Amino acid sequence: MRILILGANGQLGTDLLAEGGRRNTVEMRGLTRDDLDMENLDTIPEVLKDYPADVIVNCTSYHKTDEVEVNGTKAATLNAHAVEALAKVAENQGARFVHISTDYVFDGTNTKPYTESDTPAPVSVYGATKYLGETLARRTCNDTLILRVASLFGVAGASGKGGNFVETMLRLAKEHGQLKVVNDVRMSPTSTRTVAFFLLELLEKQANAGIYHVVNSGDATWYEFASEIIDLVGWNVPVHPVTSDEFPTRAARPEYSVLSNYKLSEAVSERPVPWTEALKEYLVRKEHI
């Protein structure tokens, strides 16, 4: 199975290439922003014609949530119209198309984990453009898998964000000797290594086209996430819970965006490990513990 990855040097792309390298059933090839400018829609089919594949995986995204709020045109181009262009290439090549989406397509009013059948209602430009990308992808390529992920942490770090949440907490803990972290927003912390593994499992098991929530099991507030990080590295750094009002942001965020991975576990006959286990494995790989 020949797999082409867009955004190959990001957190997920890096772990996806590594996971593919551990399997003799796939042949991986990756493209970065230097290889393909996703804002230039006309070049997408021209560039991709030189990279025939059985599966095209789109790990690219304009994901600086607050910046996106005032750059709607760019966000629509990268998160929606470029996705449509990629899906069209996949459809024309007879390839499967895998698009990575987000928990931010939901409004956060649920009180139990969101399933794939729940209706999206994004509260930010980022969430709205990602949902539009989902819609255009599924409309354009019949064999599309949408993988919604959340609160990612991977060894490559978050491109353009100065590191993922884990690295940011460790840096701030060193700089300030304490942390204040929001405790009224609940989500699904997820390792990109987990996402990479289950993405390939879905492909190898020829899972039906559709939407899958691919997250580690369990959930947490950002405060609980940060507390677990500090506990695992063994630092004597106090972590204080605060409300989101103390850290106002330009873009709204869902207060509750926990995703259910039940459909995923049914499709691959395996459930992702708890996020605490995935976090410990990540910290070991990063040589923090």
Indicate whether 20 belongs to any domain.
yes
Give the integer Cα–Cα distance in Å for 287 and 233: 10
Answer whether residue 161 shows pLDDT above 70. no
Query: Structurally, how many domains does the chain consist of?
Result: 1
Model pTM?
0.96
Which residue segment(s) compose the domain that 46 sits in? 2-162+189-216+258-272
- Residue 275: in which H helix or E strand, if any? helix 275-285
Indicate whether 120 belongs to any domain.
yes
Answer whether residue 158 shows pLDDT above 70. no
Indicate whether 286 belongs to any domain.
no
Indicate whether 267 belongs to any domain.
yes
Indicate whether 94 belongs to any domain.
yes
SS3 4: strand
Q: What is the pLDDT of residue 196?
A: 98
Residue type present at position 4: L
Give the integer Cα–Cα distance in Å for 83 and 97: 10
Indicate whether 9 belongs to any domain.
yes
Answer whether residue 162 shows pLDDT above 70. no
Q: What is the CATH number of the domain that holds 194?
A: 3.40.50.720
Contact 62, 76 (CB under 8 A): no
Indicate whether 223 belongs to any domain.
no
Indicate whether 142 belongs to any domain.
yes
Tens digit of pLDDT for each residue in 242-280?
999 999 999 999 999 999 999 999 999 999 999 999 999
Which one from 126, 212, 223, 256 is the annotated catalytic residue? Answer: 126
Verify whether residue 104 is a known catalytic residue: no
